[in-house]
Structure 1
Amino acid sequence: MSLWNLVRPDSLAGRTMLVLVGGLTLLDAGSMLIHDRALHRAELLAFETRLADRILAASAVSAGQPEAERDTVVREWSLPGLELRWRATPPSAPVAAPHRFPELFEQLGESGPVVRAMVGAAASGAVAAPGGGWIHFAAQPPPYAGFPVKPGHWLPVSAMALGILLVAFPILGWMTQPLRRLAEAADRLGRDPRPAKLPTTGPVEVRHAAQAFNAMQARIARLIEDRTEALAALSHDFRTPLARLRLRAGFLPPGQERAEIEAEVAEMEAMVAGALAYFREGRDAEPSVDTDLAAILQTLASEASDGGHDVAYLGPARCVIPLRRVAAKRAIRNLVTNALQHGAPPVRITLRREGRQAVIDVTDRGPGIPANRREQALAPFVRLDPSRGGSGVGLGLTTALRFATAEGGDLELREAELGGLGVRIALPAG
């Protein structure tokens, strides 16, 4: 299994990896955000401490100066972002905001009365000077730049996510292998006459699912086997009364009545023989081997052509694919026979490769089958008398469909380029 099929977003393994990597990314981003906010808080506390030291130092220096020069002396202690003034009175509109800049006002409060005057985001207020008056201050704290998104921050996360993917890839592949086997077995169900049992390995839920699937598979196989045996026995039992009927018809004088009875008996015998072959094919376990499909089609075309029919093969001289040789020959022969009996010449058998498929087309120039009746034509023992003639058993298309499905392919009825019926079989080419 390829890496993409394992980690694709709609797969169980892919979604598990998405949860792991996404959760790790969110956790790391959250921790980085918390660390960044804590770092900013530490910077803010350091800023408040430096601010308090600067204000207290300016207050102490102003105490020994004449009152007229105190404002000039205090101004010299100003810094970019910090404005200091000396005033004889405190701020006129004090505002109590103890939750803003607590470290600053706590340190200033240790030296004397403090008046808070918060203006926006600035730390502003006044502290009583020891020599009289008030030291007014207004400082802008360092702004919070927000969560920094830098490539270097994501390098550890990317490395960790890659490590998780490398470790989780084989583990998830091993864990989901029973589910893939279950899906493959479900796909084979109905195509393989003797499906193999699923191994009951993996987690307990998967083991229970495999056990239930094996039990269901066994019940279906047993039901099909019972029905097939009953129908095959019934078809076989028809041979005895048909033989007696043919024998009695032989005692009739030659004429139209005798000919009609013998024709009816022959048709019923053909139906019984076809039914027996159909049921027997469902029970046969022919192995699939590498087979030259082109050689089979060439042989069938030559046989029909030697019989005086306008049948030709168009395609490559060689096309080797794995399939059941006898079943393939029987199915394609039925299609050619149908085209000769119910269609009109010319009959063409074409073969071509399309990607990983081998595509077979059997076409004729007959009346074809209406689009609204094509699905019905694929059912067993169905004969579309108005459009395809009244002879035959009604198993030719059904046998071909069963063969295509058992090989993992498909059969489609379509309108041929010449106006008749086109039967297309697409088989996996390995």
Structure 2
Amino acid sequence: MRLRLDSLFGRLFGVLLLAIVLAHLLAFAWFFHYDQPPPPGPPGMDQQGDGPPRFGPPSNRRPRPWFGGPVVPLTFQFVCLIIAAWYGAKLLTRPIQRLSDAAERLSENLDSPPLEENGPREARQAAHTFNLMQQRIREQVQQRSRMLGAVSHDLRTPLSRLKLRLEQIDDVKLQGQMRQDLDDMIGMLDATLTYLHEQRTSEALQWMDVQALAESLSENAQDQGSDVQVSGTCAPLQVQPMALRSCLNNLIDNALRYAGHALITLQDQKHLLLIRVIDHGPGIAADKREAVFEPFFRLEGSRNRNSGGVGLGMTIAREATERLGGQLSLEETPGGGLTAVISLPRP
């Protein structure tokens, strides 16, 4: 492996090597200073210069300080290695943390600023690759949106002409069936474009009065003759306003479509806000409750296309909840029906 000083490996190797060399140099200097014999005296004399030479263990060593012995050099070695290990760990984890933060920002907003391409060579390469990936994802999303927008626009013209030509059909039953099919196609186009718009929409977090939002949605529905009630209270929460509104709108529409009424309950907890949208309609079997979150999935029976849905409302609601950092689940309403539970964390 070629050693480059601007690489992560080169910097980490250099830090550890420097720490080891400094620690050993201090150890050598320590023992050299305190273990050297003093200059020799007259022959046959001891250190005090009188008396016969002494035998036994050598006593002509320079006295060590009270904290002598190997304690000081070993302690210095230990400290040097700890500092080197700490700095090496910082070198290793800093690029990973930067990539993790950038990936989290990218998951929330495709237009987030790119990573700065600095630091060790491996970190620069990873940042450059990440920025290229972000640019390609953004271009693919924009291209897909343009393509679907063009397809939607081009399809609307022949569909509108078909609806006009239906008036020339004398068979009233056939005319109604064909009109229903055309309305379904137009509805699917609109729902698909709405779903794609929800996916690419990014908002900043804002403090919002969730209780006021729920009451506003209830009043709007009541003005249109629908039965939507609200109960419970909650404190303001930091959310993406359009995402939360989209989620609640789809859940309320789902309840009204299949049950004809909806009840929104708010339950404020210390670290969590629970929003429930309750209906007493036909409900959903337990083994199908996760499947309804798949795009264009429709249940047989009462919850199908004839009820007016195209299978995207629950998908949009769950993805909006996940953008808020929460969870959306479905439960059986006591007494029959379906309860959608939104769990939103409080910071």
For residue 301 of structure 2, the aligned residue among 380, 386, 389 is: 386
For residue 251 of structure 2, the aligned residue among 323, 335, 359 is: 335
3-state DSSP of counterpart to 1:186: helix
The normalised TM-score by structure 2 is 0.68
Amino acid at match of 2:147: A
Aligned residues: 294
The equivalent of 2:288 in structure 1 is 373
1:247-268 deviations in whole A, cap 9, x for unaligned?
A: 0112334732222222222222
1:323-366 deviations in whole A, cap 9, x for unaligned?
A: 1x233222211111011112x36522223344444332222223
Q: How many percent identity over aligned positions?
A: 34
Task: Give the Å deviation of 1:379.
Answer: 1.8
Query: Is 2:224 aligned against 1:301?
Result: no
Instruction: Provide the C-alpha distance between the structure 2 equivalents of 1:291 and 1:380, rounded to a whole number of angstroms.
Output: 29
The equivalent of 1:211 in structure 2 is 128
Task: Give the Å deviation of 1:196.
Answer: 2.7
3-state DSSP of counterpart to 1:347: strand
3-state DSSP of counterpart to 1:196: coil
- The RMSD of aligned alpha carbons is 4.4
Amino acid at match of 1:352: Q
CA contact (8 A) 2:207 2:236 kept: no
Higher alpha-carbon Rg: 1
Query: Is 2:225 aligned against 1:225?
Result: no
Pair 1:207–1:261, CA change in 2 (3 A): same
Pair 1:317–1:426, CA change in 2 (3 A): closer
For residue 172 of structure 2, the aligned residue among 250, 255, 265 is: 255
The normalised TM-score by structure 1 is 0.56
Pair 1:400–1:159, CA change in 2 (3 A): farther
3-state DSSP of counterpart to 2:290: helix
Instruction: Provide the C-alpha distance between the structure 2 equivalents of 1:354 and 1:162, rounded to a whole number of angstroms.
Output: 48
Task: Give the Å deviation of 1:176.
Answer: 4.1
Q: How does 1:343-358 map to 2 (within 5 A)?
A: 344=259, 347-358=262-273
3-state DSSP of counterpart to 1:405: helix
Task: Give the Å deviation of 1:420.
Answer: 2.7
Task: Give the Å deviation of 1:389.
Answer: 2.9
Instruction: Provide the C-alpha distance between the structure 1 equivalents of 2:218 and 2:283, rounded to a whole number of angstroms.
Output: 20
3-state DSSP of counterpart to 1:242: helix
Task: Give the Å deviation of 1:369.
Answer: 2.6
Which of 221-230 and 329-338 deviates more? Answer: 221-230
Amino acid at match of 2:163: R
CA contact (8 A) 1:361 1:424 kept: yes
The equivalent of 1:360 in structure 2 is 275
Instruction: Provide the C-alpha distance between the structure 1 equivalents of 2:79 and 2:223, rounded to a whole number of angstroms.
Output: 67
CA contact (8 A) 1:347 1:362 kept: yes
Q: Which runs of 5+ in 2 are unaligned?
A: 1-11, 32-54, 58-69
Instruction: Provide the C-alpha distance between the structure 2 equivalents of 1:159 and 1:345, rounded to a whole number of angstroms.
Output: 77
CA contact (8 A) 1:369 1:387 kept: no
Amino acid at match of 1:259: G
1:181-238 deviations in whole A, cap 9, x for unaligned?
A: 3112223444424233122233322222222222122222222322232223222222
